[in-house]
Every structure is written in structure tokens, then in C-alpha cells.
Structure 1
Amino acid sequence: MKSVVENFVPQGGKHCITNSLKQIFTYYGYPMSEELLFGLASGLSFLYLNQAASPMINGRTKVFEFEKKLADRLQITIQCKAGKNYDRIFRMTKQMIDANQPVLIYVDMPFLPYLGLADGSHFGGHAVVLFGYDDEERKFLVSDRDQHDALIYTPNGQIAEDFHMVDYDDIERARSSSFRPFPAKNKYLCIDLQGYRAVNQEVLREAILDTCESMLYPPAQLLGVCGILKFSREVCRWKAFSQKKRRLAGITNYFQIHEKGGTGGGIFRRMYGDFLKEAAGIWQNNRLVELGEQFIAVSFYGMLLQSCCGSCRKQGIYSCCT
């Protein structure tokens, strides 16, 4: 048997969960930009984890905390469901597709062949949308961040497909994975947009104040502005790492910051800047445009540093880049 969700149009995007949600919202008649979804969920954050293998930074709030805040602010229902019995999950997924319901699922990235990631590079918080299946070919139709006009970067080069045909077995491994961080464990979202509340000044104020408070008054020193200050001190000690560890830290955090890693640019600061500019039009508040431009400007600092390091290498000066 073969089944495809009627009138579903795959879309590319900047960040996995916002792009997946954008597709679901659009399909049900509530189109919304990734940036607005990100800002309404108070997605902007900062985290510094000094892990033994490699320190890591992150620029957005936790998986599921993000989705809960978005649901509360739009007065919709977003339920995260899961199960240990994959056969049941598999049947449920196909039933949802048969009922013309695209399915937002969480997957462990190295089990998706088209991403070309190393076996050990686990991350089970990656969101994609299933919108079809083919029993004869034993494949699901998967919409990820890439599109013909929105390429993404993988270790094997750039990809820009409107959708991917992925084997049932690979999807099972990706969905059932228990590897950390954020083990996928067959999680998927059920989204009910009945009761949707249009975005207004009140909900924007709530979302922006929440972001400000969490950044300025975080519950732990590794979060928010405290985490940024901690990172600014700790990064100076990276030069004492072994070459292997320093290389891993550099590669890991490059993708945590850069748009190539799915942050929209500048560790999500560019997306948040665009959110503030979009919010300004809804709120009729030009001050938000100014603040948005400042966030966007901050997002380009990494590119400036990259340019400086390139110049240093050309001149034979390596101290700033090692």
C-alpha cells in the first residue's frame, strides 16, 4: 500500500523544530514564520556545558519546554507521545498519514542516511515530518530542513532535496534510539490547533519578558548571561586541551553557533532578531525593530572572527586561532 498526505507541501527552513512546526501550522491553515514560532516559544537561551569529552554551548531552550510554551501562548494543544512498542508506533504513524495527518517525529540524526553523520554523533532531538509511506518500497517520505532552494550542509556535502525517501528500518533505528543527548525514544507530537489565539501585543509581551528574565536571572550559572560570562572565561583554557579535544570542541561548537548547524545564524540570535522585527509590525512598536537589528548584528560577529582568523593564517599569525 502507498499513502501520501493530501495537499501537504514540504518546506525547507532554518531550524529543525521551527521548520517542522511551520509545515504543520501551514498545512492546517495557520501559516506562521519560523522566527515568530521561535520567539513566541521564548526559544532564545544560552547554555555552557563543560563536558569531559568536549565543552558545548547551546543557544535555545530545552526540547519540549519550547513546545509547551508555544502551545500555552497560542492556546493550542501540543502533546508529546511515545511508546516502547515500535510496531504499535509504526501502525499508528501509518494510520495518521492515511487520515491526512502529517506526523512530527523526533529522530537520532546519525541513523538518517542522507545526513551522512558519523555513528557516534548522536542527537535525538532532531525534528522532521513524515507525510507519506510506500509499503512496496518500504520507505517513508520525510521532510527535513533542506529544499531545492534551501540547501543544508552535511559531512558528505550539500543537500537540497524537497523530501527524502527513507527505509522503514532506518526510521525505526532513528526513532527508537535511546542514545543521549535527548534520546528520541519514539517521541512524536500530536497537535490540535482548535482554540488557536491570534498573536497580539499581550502574548508578544509575555514571550519577550520571559526571554529577558530567563537570560538575566537564570536558575543556574551555566545558563543565560551567567553562562555567557562563564563561557568567556572557560574558552581561554581550551588552549590547554589536547589537539584532538580542541578540534572536537571547535567543530562541535561551530555547528552549535553557525547557521550551517541549523541555528539560523549566530547561535539563534539572527532568528530572534527577525522575530523582534516581525513582532514590531504586530505590536506597532518601532523600538523592537531597533532591538531586532542589534540581535542580527550580533549574529554576524562569528563571521567577523572567522574572517580575522583567516587573515591571521595568511600572515602567519596563529595565536588567535589555536
Structure 2
Amino acid sequence: MTTPNLDLDPLDGYQPLATHHCVTGSMRHIYLFHAHDISEDMLLGVGGGVGYIYWAQKGALPTMGGRRIDKVRGFEPVTAARTGVQVEAHRTTSAAKAERTLLEQLDAGQPVMLQVDMGFLPYFDFGGEEYHFGGHVVVAWGYDAANHTVLIADRDSELHPVPMAALAAARGSTHKPFPPKNCWWTWDFSQKRAPTGDEVRQAIHEQAHDMLHPPISNIGVAGIRKAAQMVLTWPRTMDPDRLRLALFNAYIFIDAVGGTGGGTFRYMFSRFLREGAAFTGGDRLLAVADDFQHIADQWQAVAAWFLNTSERSDAASVLPEVVRPLEDIADLEQAAWTRLEAITADAERVTQHS
């Protein structure tokens, strides 16, 4: 990330943070502004944010993602409810309304969490390649009306002045599969609290259940196994340049550079389990945390393979090399999630309103 030097100060209450994931990192910015100190790992885990999906949509590069999102409630509302917070997402087709509302909130002294397409943010360097991902999330911390500039916090600890026109393009992007739709969030921290042990157990159980019993074969451990086979089919529908871009994209979805915290979120999940053990009194979680640390290491090895292969002219011929490592990871995840499902089996009987 590169940033020009401009004299633009953030709102009072800003704290520089180096974060792992764009959503949880942005939420941590907002939480700390409201004096609610919940770790980024806890935000990810208690919101049920870890899973797996392989998804190939026409016109878009294949997705190999390590996130899970509650299809009914959504990640942010679940995380908020389990930490005593209320949150509401807002969307509009009007760029003018999106900008007006943003500036009004900043004028009121409130930082604003925004969904954007990172491909339009000038501080990212994609090596000359056109790259779009509309599921990126940042926080606006101030603006300069005279210079038409908004001050943006991303995953690094610096603040980035972004021209309002570029931010409007990022917020209004139509690139698939995650167009931002000018989304922003508002918050109520008046009832803030730490998550309960029952809520931590429930979150772990939900993630384990979806990994082991997915509704379709693209999701969960089955999705990892599917990815291992589908990678072999990429050359049938992609020319060499498109194939190399798909391989690089797979690397981005696994590695920390893509906002996963490394190991497709498994390092963050391992730390969440360690922290969660203190909430639940469940020392058995510590052993599974070690398992996920090891699993994350294996994912990182696969990420390195995808990156190296994306730079090869004969990429199509070596794709079979990644099948066994992905299948081995699937076996490791099957065992680890099965342990978590058993440890948290009583969570199925816990009545939750989160």
C-alpha cells in the first residue's frame, strides 16, 4: 500500500491499528472508538466467521474462501449481538446519497465502516494488473472538503487519503461477485458487553456444523475436496493468462496479503480457540487450537504453491501437484472440526437470541 503525504487529521478517538482481516479489522476500529475492546480474533470467531467455500461464477475468477457468513442473519449482526452491540447495514443506488450520508456522519464525529471494491483504491498496487474485489471493508476517519479527499483506514497502521471520486467508484462498483452497493453500517454500543461462554460455544458449534454438514458440496470440508478436483479443470475454460490470474487469486484468498490473517483464516481461528477456552473453561479447545495452527501452516504451503505456479508458463501441466496437499488439508480439517463438534455438542441445546 502506498500513500501520498497530505495534512489531513483523523477524528478524535482514532487509534492506529495493524489488522488481519478487512471486516474484523474495521469492526475493531469501530469497537475501540466506542471503548469496547474485543480482539479481532474473537470478533471473527464469535461471529461464526470461519468456514470454506469453492465457488465458480460465470465471468468471475474462482473463489476459494475461508470465510463463513450466516445466510440468514449475516456476519456483522451475529458478531454484534454476541458482544452487546446493535448494527444496521444501509445500501443505496445513489452515489450522491452515499457521499452525503458519509460526510454527515463524519461531521458528527463518527467514523464510518464502508464496503468497497479494493481495485479502485489508489493506495493498492496490483502490479499493473486489473484486480477487483468488492467485498473489501474499510473505515472512513475524516475528510477534507477543499481537496475532495477522505481519510481511510485499511489493514495497515497508516491512514490513506483517497480522492472522493475514487472512493465513489470503489463504493459503487458493479464488479462480481461482491458488488458493494454503497454499503455502510451504523452502530449502537449502549448495551456493549463481552460474549458469554455459551455464545462462544454456540459460535464454534455453528462453524463446525457447517464445515462437516454443508448444504451443498461446494462448502465446508467437502468444498476443500471439491476445490482439489476443480483446479484440474481450470485450463478447459481459461487461456494461459486467465489461468495464471486464477492461480494468483487463489494465493490471495489464502495468504495474509489477501486479508485472511494467513492460512485462510486458520491462524486467526486458532487464536480465537485459545481465547475462547478462557471464556468457556474448556481446556480441550487448546489442543484443537494447536491442530488449527498446523492446518494453517499447510494452507500457507499451498498458498506458496499457487503463487509460484502463477508465475510459470507451463502452469497447466503442474496443476495435479496441488491435489494431494488439498486433500490432506481436508482430512486434517475433517478431524479437527469433528473434535470441535463433539466438544460443543451441548451448544445445540442452548437457546440463543443472537
TM-score w.r.t. length of structure 1: 0.85
State yes or no: 1:212 paired with 2:208. yes
Partner of 1:99: 108
1:264–1:177 Cα change, 3 Å: same
Alpha-carbon offset, residue 73 of structure 1 = 2.1
Q: Deviation digits for residues 221-275 of structure 1, max 9, x if unmatched?
A: 1111221121222234446664334312210101101111111111111111110
Q: Give the AA of the match of 1:85.
A: S
Alpha-carbon offset, residue 17 of structure 1 = 0.4
Q: What is the rounded CA distance, in whole Å, between the counterparts of 2:164 and 2:271 in structure 1?
A: 37
Q: Deviation digits for residues 278-307 of structure 1, max 9, x if unmatched?
A: 111222222111111111111111344577
Q: Give the AA of the match of 2:256.
A: E
Task: Give the alignment partner of residue 18 of structure 1, picking from 15, 24, 30.
Answer: 24
Partner of 1:90: 99
Alpha-carbon offset, residue 29 of structure 1 = 0.6
Q: Is the 8 A contact 2:262 2:300 kept in 1?
A: no
Partner of 1:116: 125
Unaligned runs of 5+ in 2: 1-7, 309-316, 323-354
Partner of 1:146: 156
TM-score w.r.t. length of structure 2: 0.78
Partner of 2:253: 256
Query: Superposition RMSD on alpha carbons, in Å?
Result: 2.5
Q: Give the AA of the match of 2:138.
A: V
Q: Give the AA of the match of 1:23.
A: H
1:263–1:281 Cα change, 3 Å: same
Q: Percent identity?
A: 32
Q: What is the rounded CA distance, in whole Å, between the counterparts of 1:145 and 1:48 in structure 2?
A: 25
Partner of 1:28: 34
Q: Give the AA of the match of 1:254.
A: Y
Q: What is the rounded CA distance, in whole Å, between the counterparts of 2:65 and 2:305 in structure 1?
A: 23
Task: Give the alignment partner of residue 241 of structure 2, picking from 235, 244, 248.
Answer: 244
Q: Which moved more, 1:253-262 or 1:196-205?
A: 196-205
1:219–1:244 Cα change, 3 Å: same
Task: Give the alignment partner of residue 75 of structure 2, picking from 42, 66, 71.
Answer: 66
Q: What is the rounded CA distance, in whole Å, between the counterparts of 2:303 and 2:115 in structure 1?
A: 32
Partner of 1:226: 222
1:138–1:245 Cα change, 3 Å: closer
Partner of 2:55: 49
State yes or no: 1:272 paired with 2:269. yes
Q: Give the match's secondary structure for 1:114.
A: coil
Q: What is the rounded CA distance, in whole Å, between the counterparts of 1:109 and 1:305 in structure 2?
A: 24
Q: What is the rounded CA distance, in whole Å, between the counterparts of 2:89 and 2:76 in structure 1?
A: 9
Q: What is the rounded CA distance, in whole Å, between the counterparts of 1:217 and 1:268 in structure 2?
A: 20
Q: Is the 8 A contact 1:15 1:263 kept in 2?
A: yes
Q: What is the rounded CA distance, in whole Å, between the counterparts of 1:164 and 1:204 in structure 2?
A: 35
Task: Give the alignment partner of residue 287 of structure 1, picking from 284, 287, 309.
Answer: 284
Q: What is the rounded CA distance, in whole Å, between the counterparts of 1:91 and 1:49 in structure 2?
A: 35
State yes or no: 1:179 paired with 2:188. no
Q: Deviation digits for residues 15-67 of structure 1, max 9, x if unmatched?
A: 10010000110110101111000001110111112345643311102497211
Alpha-carbon offset, residue 321 of structure 1 = 5.4
Q: Give the match's secondary structure for 1:300.
A: helix
Q: Is the 8 A contact 1:125 1:183 kept in 2?
A: yes
Matched residue count: 301
Q: Is the 8 A contact 1:46 1:215 kept in 2?
A: yes
Partner of 1:158: none
